[in-house]
Structure 1
């Protein structure tokens, strides 16, 4: 049995290790984790850049990987506390984005500004228990290669956005987006698809 499995299987030990990594009631790791552990465990491709005014709440027990020449702009928040965050090559995470894992973003993707992509949900089924005390549910978000996610969009947990698709500004994406599609609205719906025979985008 691995050390990780031993820690997970022992509630007391798990709570202690969690306290060592993260102050009680907070999401961001302790400075010693940020300075000495994360740089060793998490992968950052050549030319990848994280701007100074970002909040990188990443922990050693889940992945945080950036591909080559990927950029995370100022005022963004990245959190891998409940799932991996993977960012592909030549991908831009624009200003003031929030990514909460599990989230996988492909290569050559543009995230504009003020986008929220969260693979995390809070359970709320028991009305006798505060929502904050109920369990957390996770379902991975996948954004495939060559997509453009426009400003102020929301991508909810469990959604896959297909290759070379566009999410219009302000859209709330609650269902999978087919490859080579444009979606808009709340909830987002397909408004265009690329017709390979006509070689143009066609309204639907």
Structure 2
């Protein structure tokens, strides 16, 4: 304890303020927010969210949610009811201004890092009725899931119907829709696999647009 105190005293002012702020939000999360969520593990921190629907959100241990996150479960829309559940497994980190919406179960796997300005959703709007504004048309709900230990680059858009395997790397500003296997590097608009980990050789290898390995 004395060693920690000495270390704190030797920090520059900006770092002291950061440590004190972190302690405040840890206490607030475990005392206040823990009562509101469907479930919430130990050592998880929520800073200053923009909007939450905590009754439909489960948070594991050691998660960290930064400022201005909007994590919203949709329970009804256009006269249809839904049964949403947003699950953040252990160790998930969500940076500033992320937007997550779900009208069904949406799981973000443990130790996944989500950088700032990312959008993840499992819903789309129908648009076929040209006499009605798209925003008033029914929702289409599609299974969407993020695997363990993924890294979602800033500004990426994870659209409804996307399944990411474990340890997938999503590039900055990528627009993702579809199913991607474990150990994929995914970039672009629309996004495609450009590299995968070859478990046989133990190295990351380039792929074609279908995700098949190519000779370099």
User: Deviation at 1:41?
Assistant: 5.5
Structure 2, unpaired ranges of 5+: 1-31, 76-83, 208-216
Of residues 120, 126, 130, the one that matches 1:127 is 130
User: Deviation at 1:55?
Assistant: 2.2
Distance 1:178 1:198 in 2: 17
Distance 2:194 2:57 in 1: 34
Check conservation: 1:123, 1:137, Cα contact below 8 A: yes
Distance 1:59 1:92 in 2: 17
Q: In the alignment, what sits opposite 1:8?
A: none
Q: Could you give the per-residue CA deviations for residues 81-100 of structure 1, whole angstroms, max 9, x where no partner exists?
A: 24211101011011111010
Q: In terms of Rg, which structure is larger?
A: 2
What stretches of structure 1 move > 6 A for 4+ residues in a row?
none
Q: In the alignment, what sits opposite 1:158?
A: 161
Secondary structure of 1:79 counterpart: strand
- Against the structure 1 CA distance between its residues 41 and 116, is the aligned structure 2 distance closer, same or farther, given a 3 Å change threshold? closer
Secondary structure of 1:65 counterpart: strand
Distance 2:54 2:64 in 1: 19
Q: In the alignment, what sits opposite 2:42?
A: 46
User: Normalised by the size of structure 2, how large is the TM-score?
Assistant: 0.72
Structure 1, unpaired ranges of 5+: 1-35
Secondary structure of 1:132 counterpart: helix
Check conservation: 1:59, 1:81, Cα contact below 8 A: no
**C-alpha RMSD of matched pairs (Å):** 1.8
Check conservation: 2:39, 2:57, Cα contact below 8 A: yes
Q: In the alignment, what sits opposite 2:9?
A: none
Q: Does 1:96 align with 2:89?
A: no
Q: Does 1:70 align with 2:66?
A: no
User: Normalised by the size of structure 1, how large is the TM-score?
Assistant: 0.76
Check conservation: 2:37, 2:58, Cα contact below 8 A: no
